[in-house]
Amino acid sequence: MKKLFVADDEEIIRAGIRNCIEKQAADFTICGEAEDGEMALPLIQELKPDILIADVRMPFMDGLDLAALVKRAMPWVHIVIVSGHDEFEYAQKALTVGVDAYILKPVNSPKLLEVLNEVSERIEKEKKTYLEIEESLKRDELETTVLREHFLGQLVVGAVGLSEALQAAQRHKISLISKKYVVCQAALPGFAAGDELARVRLLGNRVFGERSDSIWFLQSAEQMVFIVKGEHETAVREAAYETAQILRHELKRYLSVDVAVGIGSIVDRIGELPRSYADARSVFGSGLIFRGSKIIGYEDLKHDRISCKPMPSLGVPLAEQLRHASQKDLAQILDNYFKEVNDESLDSHLLRYYLMTDLIVTASRLTREKGEEQELISENPRQVFELASSLEESRAFAMELLTGMISHRSASRTVPYGHEIRNARDYIDAHYSDPDISLHTVAREVGFSPSHFSAIFSQETGETFIEYLTKRRVEAAKTMLKDKKNKLHEIAPAIGYNDPHYFSYVFKKNTGMSPKEYRNSL
């Protein structure tokens, strides 16, 4: 199912496209609409459609300017331009922007479906051919890539001096000079150094190839690093979150991999890149990643109670290992915890008993530190001694105990940005009837850049800004529909939709019934 977004200032055109898609195109769905380019851009960034259908002439921002911005921020989006003017200048600019099709008005259903099917086939072909690895890569090209990645890897860990770094950057044709920098790290778990790694490299070229504000490289088979640079702190932060979202989208789309991205602190000098890199890496030890957050900035850690200390290594006291452990860490921790007591001798039996007793005490202390009470599996010495009779039973007991502790701890933690998310929801609840409310206006209200706000809102609430706003409007419409004094044509503007037809489309899409059918069902 391909997602479409329609941007056109003529309601009759939007309605025609909507009806065509709804009645004749089962492989497509309209995820959003806007009547001008300025309103469309934040919606497109939030909804991430596969295809954008845009009128060439719209107020505030025309279709070609919108297309250029969308192609830069979301290169995977395919664009169809609709125009009432058969002018060479428009068509030429459309080709420059990278538009897939240019259709003249009036647009009839057969023509629209023909174009959409062609674009859909292009998307599928692109997915297939994009992942085909070219074996024609020359040895010297590969060597150049490896040397470049080695230099950048040394740069972010502080192993290269400033003078040497500038010379190497010039040699590798890397534009390094800027006023602000931030280093980001993407974890690529499970990748090997074969075809998958080659595909990741291809995808990296796709995502970062057209971005002059980003420098990317593979640090290892499981780590991608990218440096975002710019003139101002706000611009760098916004670009980092925007790039992280694009990277996650492309990896999910092409390789079916859901990666996490850590964003470091913003620094002023090349020599401070190692600090930003270290801060990006520390995100992965914070515990936020393991609670479902997939794009986390170092600044986000200030909003969470978890220390940004990395996962302790072996040899660290058990309490410190468990204090920051996630469910995924338990197997390794227990393997090393019981590694010296793996036989069936009496000595091992006794030592397992002592280890299990210590484990129970440690787990109890950690839960009390958080002001929580957890009902442990067993503190009866006789029962613990019986469980310690074999390594299998001991380990199973320990795994059950610690899994419960971590689940309880995760469920009771304070939500990062809880205050800001509540403020955002309150603002949406109070202003959902404003047709001009957008991701940008709410982000500004709570003090975030749009990309940062979009990331934390969806991560902390489990739904996107648009989904929450739409749900709030639909619930308000249901309330109004219960009172038959409210005319159907009056409800749409009362809940923030200027177009009654689009309101009906959204209502049916979310409830399975048209507003009239819903009222009759009452």
Complete DSSP assignment for 39-104: HHHHHHHHH--SEEEEES--SSS-HHHHHHHHHHH-TT-EEEEEES---HHHHHHHHHHT-SEEEE
Q: Hey, is 120 helix, strand or coil?
A: helix
Looking at residue 310, what is its pLDDT?
40
Which range has the worst mean pLDDT, 27-41, 86-100, 169-183, 491-505?
86-100
Same domain, 250 and 120: no
Same domain, 93 and 159: no
Looking at residue 369, what is its pLDDT?
59
Domain containing residue 211: CATH number: 3.30.70.270
Give the angle 154-287-463 at the CA atoms, nearest 5°. Answer: 110
Same domain, 176 and 70: no
| Overall average pLDDT of the 372-383 stretch | 57
Same domain, 430 and 402: no
pLDDT, one tens digit per residue, over 330-344 is 888 888 788 767 666
The residue out of 412, 443, 471 marking a domain boundary is: 412
Res. 99: pLDDT tops 80: yes
Residue 32 belongs to a domain: yes
Q: Which residue has the higher pLDDT, 495 or 388?
A: 495
Query: Domain range for residue 56?
Result: 2-130
Same domain, 36 and 123: yes
Same domain, 33 and 119: yes
Q: Which residue has the higher pLDDT, 449 or 466?
A: 466
Q: Which residue has the higher pLDDT, 263 or 299?
A: 263
Q: Residue 392: in which H helix or E strand, if any? A: helix 391-412
| Overall average pLDDT of the 273-279 stretch | 92
Same domain, 392 and 485: no
The residue out of 242, 271, 303 marking a domain boundary is: 303
156 pLDDT band, cuts 50/70/90, is very high
| Overall average pLDDT of the 402-412 stretch | 73
Q: How many CB atoms lie within 10 A of CB 152?
A: 26
Pair 56, 90: CB distance under 8 Å? yes
Q: How far is CA 302 from CA 229, 292, 305, 395, in A?
A: 23, 18, 8, 36
Residue 192 sits at φ, ψ, to 5 deg, of -105, 175
Same domain, 370 and 439: no
Residue 62 belongs to a domain: yes
Kindly state the tokens that stand for 60: 């505030």
Bond preceding residue 515 cis, omega within 30 of 0: no
Sheet containing strand 223-230, strands side by side: 214-220, 223-230, 180-187, 260-263, 295-297
Q: How many CB atoms lie within 10 A of CB 345?
A: 9
Same domain, 213 and 290: yes
List the beta bridge partners of residue 3. Answer: 29
Q: Hey, is 286 helix, strand or coil?
A: coil
Q: What is the separation of C-alpha 273 from the centre of its chain, rounded to a whole number of angstroms?
A: 24
Same domain, 432 and 295: no
Amino acid identity at 225: V
Indicate the number of domains in the chain.
4
Looking at residue 411, what is its pLDDT?
58
Same domain, 146 and 294: yes
